[in-house]
Homo-oligomer: A and B are copies of this chain.
Amino acid sequence: MNKEIIAVDLGGTQLRAARYDAALNQLTREHTLTGADDGLEAVLARIKAIISLVMPSKRDRVEGIGISAPGPLNSKTGVIVSPPNLPGWHDVPLGAIVEEEFGLPVYIGNDANVAALAEASQGAAQGCRHVCYITVSTGIGSGIICDGRLVTGQAGLAAELGHIPLIVEAGQVSSVELEAAGPAIARQARQALAAGENTNLHDLVAGDLERLDARLVGKAAYHGDRLAIDLLAYAGRIIGLSIVTLLHLFNPQIIVIGGGVSKTGELLFAPIRQTVRDHVLDSAFTAGLRIEAAALGDDVALVGAAALAATHGGDLDISELDRRF
């Protein structure tokens, strides 16, 4: 097999595309700005243009185009539902549009699902067949590989770990994302500051509460600030409980945690691991389990989009990726 694959990473800010060989080695790569504020038609034109830039002169060398896009999206129909960071996008049939333009099969996956495939093929979960990937940044997303196949569900909407419900106190329902994503950490920090708690965050924001984000909380925690450490520990505990849910439902080999907030490292990972130990049903669920940071950097979405196309949108077993080497 000497077929090549085109991968596209459609983000709210950055737009990237690359061409991969059959063994998923990157051959060429382009990047530009998405220009989301210019509206739907402008972004569609830029997507077509960047794909053209990485397309080989002989188009029949390409077996398919994989696209990583912000959810929610229906991976079965290739329709982008209504991503918060792409204004004006509502039920856009991106798959059909790109397919018509280039006459090639197009596979679309949400960024977390695509990242799960990337980590399983070239990252922290290489060689694993039971993988849960979690991304913690402005939202919390997840991608799950169950016995070698991506879990997408009947309409391709799976798997939204950030939105599993949690009762946080006396009957009030919240969600993992509302309690533990970056904006939640910042919100809790702002509340603590407004309540006059003793913390170095007062100095770091210099009176401007709007400047307070999860990155600043991570910085303060790194320098030993008690409040900041406690806020990360709370986020870690909530994420840890959601991981216990994943362990009991999927019995995976590895949990891979990526996204900006995960860069706070052990300040987040230690409470995650402690919560998992405290609340798992039986040690059989954690025997041999690894909980690790994501290994791939900026290109995770491109690698994953290529893996998505190589597995026909996640329908094929990930062993398909090894077969190509």
Contacts and interface: CB of A to CB of B under 8 A. Distances in A.
Interface of A: 72, 74, 81, 129-130, 142, 144, 146-147, 149, 151-161, 163-171, 173, 241, 244-246, 248-253, 279, 281-282, 284-285, 287-288
Given A153-B130, A154-B253, A282 B72 contact: yes
Nearest to A128: B154
Contacts of A152: 147, 251
Given A130-B153, A165-B279, A167-B167, A158 B244 contact: no
A142 B271 CA distance: 28
A246 B157 CA distance: 12
A249 B160 contact: yes
B72 A155 contact: no
A39 to B, nearest CB: 24
Indicate the member of A129, A163, A166, A171 with the most B CB atoms within 10 Å.
A163
B169 A170 contact: yes
A251 B167 contact: no
Contact of A160 (B153, B248, B252): B248
A165 B285 CA distance: 14
A253 B76 CA distance: 14
Given A153-B130, A173-B241, A163 B251 contact: no
Contact of A281 (B74, B163, B252): B163
Indicate how many identical chains form the complex. 2
B161 A241 contact: no
Contacts of A130: 153-154
Given A72-B284, A244-B164, A157 B249 contact: no
B245 A245 contact: yes
A249 B158 contact: yes
Contact of A241 (B81, B165, B251): B165
Contacts of A129: 154
Nearest to A168: B167
Nearest to A174: B167
A74 B251 CA distance: 11
Given A130-B153, A279-B165, A144 B251 contact: no
B284 A155 contact: yes
A149 B132 CA distance: 18
B241 A159 contact: no
Given A147-B149, A163-B248, A249-B164, A157 B285 contact: yes
A251 B158 contact: yes
A250 B165 contact: no
A129 B152 CA distance: 12
